[in-house]
């Protein structure tokens, strides 16, 4: 059994609204699975279903081959999680908050708390009451709770929320280290496609409760559209030359020429040579790629401006 997570027809309805619609996905052990979607796409509901916090209307979920239900105590000792904005007991210090969960998680080693504090860079705040923590440090405390018991599976809902750029890099490195050195499986949701693409090995895209695409990160990058941008002193003449040579040419936002087609993208030097042979003065020649956000919005049928 190499699957850490398996769901089959997992559905959650609230009255007439379907939050998660017949979700069937598999996450292999040792994988970082990025779970993408807009706000309200059903990511957090899926995570709650995976953790037994809510009951499915239909279908079921298995984690490490165990069917998810609230009483799966053995299973929960192998899972660390962070759901939405992490909470903390405000009157307890960071260390005490972690100590509470060390005991509730039945971790015998008292040093686990210190290790978690060190791992998440919470040392300077260890004896501060949680109520005084910044949003970023609260997020770190939430992650420390998730990692306290060295879990085999991390289920993280928007783990980068509230972190500053240095914190994001640090947590990304930490997750990669856990996956590569300890074989931990990470299932993380996010609405930040660029962030997920940097770390995930596979990506699932949720939209309106449904998994509309699942692909490897390399495949995702490959599927993003590419084009060649050409600009010349005499744009009209350059366009005529390219079209006469069989290239497909459009105009860009600022009047530059946008050349599409595999040959133009693979061999921009051919395009350059063609134009130079006709005495065109080139001012720009570059292969550009659709950014991941644009691809994501195109995939779910939303225009960059927000229109469908």
Alpha-carbon distance of 192 to 38, in angstroms, equals 9
Nearer to another protein by Cβ, of 75 and 238: the residue is 75
Query: Contacts with another protein in 98-117 (CB under 8 A)?
Result: 99-101, 103-106
What minimum distance in Å lies between the beta carbon of 252 and another protein?
A: 47
Non-local CB neighbours of 222 within 8 Å, separated by 6+ positions: none
**128 scored as a contact of another protein (CB under 8 A):** no
Least separation, in Å, of the C-beta of 178 and another protein?
A: 19
Tell me the closest approach of the beta carbon of residue 86 to another protein, in angstroms.
Answer: 7
Is residue 88 within the footprint of another protein (CB under 8 A)?
yes
Terminus-to-terminus CA distance in the chain, angstroms?
A: 41
**Residues 199 to 238: which contact another protein by CB under 8 A?**
none
Task: List Cβ neighbours of 210 (8 Å cut-off, separation of 6 or more).
Answer: 21, 22, 23, 42
Nearer to another protein, 92 or 282 (CB): 92
Which residues neighbour 226 within 8 Å (Cβ) at sequence distance 6 or greater?
Answer: 265, 287, 288, 289, 290
The nearer residue to another protein, 100 or 272, going by C-beta atoms, is: 100
Of 42, 86, 159, 162, which one interacts with another protein (CB under 8 A)? 86
| Angstrom distances, CA of residue 264 to CA of 60, 170, 289 | 48, 39, 13
Residue 4 Cβ, how far from another protein at the closest point, in Å?
A: 15
d(CA 146, CA 20): 24
Q: Look at the block and give the residue holding tokens 């750029």.
A: 165
Closest separation in Å from C-beta 102 to another protein: 9
From the list 51-59, 193-201, 236-244, 300-308, the region that binds another protein by CB under 8 A is: 51-59
Burial of 258 (0-12, 13-18, 19+ CB in 10 A): middle
What is the x/- site pattern for another protein, positions 137-156, by CB under 8 A? --------x-----------
- Taking the least distance from each CB to another protein, the nearer of 84 and 214 is 84
Classify burial at 74, counting beta carbons within 10 Å of its beta carbon; exposed 0-12, middle 13-18, buried 19 or more. exposed
DSSP 8-state secondary structure symbol assigned to residue 191: S
Question: Nearest approach, Cβ of 191 to another protein (angstroms)?
Answer: 19
Nearer to another protein by Cβ, of 84 and 256: the residue is: 84
CB 250 within 8 Å of CB 225:
no
- Name the minimum Å distance from CB 267 to another protein: 54
Is the CB of residue 170 less than 8 Å from the CB of residue 121?
yes
Work out whether 126 is an interface residue with another protein (CB under 8 A).
no
List the one residue from 81, 187, 227, 295 that touches another protein (CB under 8 A). Answer: 81
* Contacting positions for another protein (CB under 8 A): 48, 51-55, 70-71, 73-74, 76-77, 79, 81, 83-92, 96, 99-101, 103-106, 145
């Amino acid at each position: 059994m190499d699957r850490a997570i398996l769901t089959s027809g997992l559905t959650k309805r609230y009255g007439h609204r379907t939050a998660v619609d017949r979700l069937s996905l598999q996450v292999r052990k040792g994988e970082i699975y990025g779970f993408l979607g807009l706000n309200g796409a059903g990511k957090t509901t899926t995570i709650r279903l995976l953790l037994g916090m809510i009951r499915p209307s239909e279908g079921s979920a298995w984690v490490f081959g165990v069917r998810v239900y609230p009483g799966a105590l053995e299973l929960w000792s192998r899972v660390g999680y962070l759901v939405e904005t992490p909470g903390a007991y405000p009157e307890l210090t960071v260390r005490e908050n972690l100590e509470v969960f060390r005991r509730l998680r039945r971790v015998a080693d008292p040093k686990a708390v210190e290790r978690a504090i060190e791992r998440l860079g919470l040392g300077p705040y260890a004896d501060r009451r949680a109520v005084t923590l910044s949003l970023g440090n609260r997020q770190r405390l939430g992650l420390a709770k998730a990692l306290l018991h060295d879990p085999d599976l991390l289920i993280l809902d928007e783990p980068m929320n509230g972190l500053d750029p240095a914190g994001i890099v640090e947590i990304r490195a930490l997750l990669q280290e856990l996956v590569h050195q300890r074989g931990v499986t990470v299932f993380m949701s996010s609405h930040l496609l660029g962030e997920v693409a940097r770390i995930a090995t596979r990506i699932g895209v949720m939209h309106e409760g449904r998994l509309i695409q699942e692909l490897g990160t390399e495949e995702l990058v490959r599927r993003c559209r590419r084009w060649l941008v050409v600009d010349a002193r005499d744009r009209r003449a350059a366009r005529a030359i390219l079209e006469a040579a069989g290239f497909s040419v459009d105009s860009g936002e600022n009047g530059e020429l946008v050349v599409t087609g595999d040959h133009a993208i693979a061999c921009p030097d051919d395009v350059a040579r063609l134009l130079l042979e006709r005495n065109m003065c080139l001012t720009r020649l570059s292969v550009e790629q659709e950014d991941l956000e644009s691809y994501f919005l195109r995939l779910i049928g939303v225009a960059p401006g927000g229109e469908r």
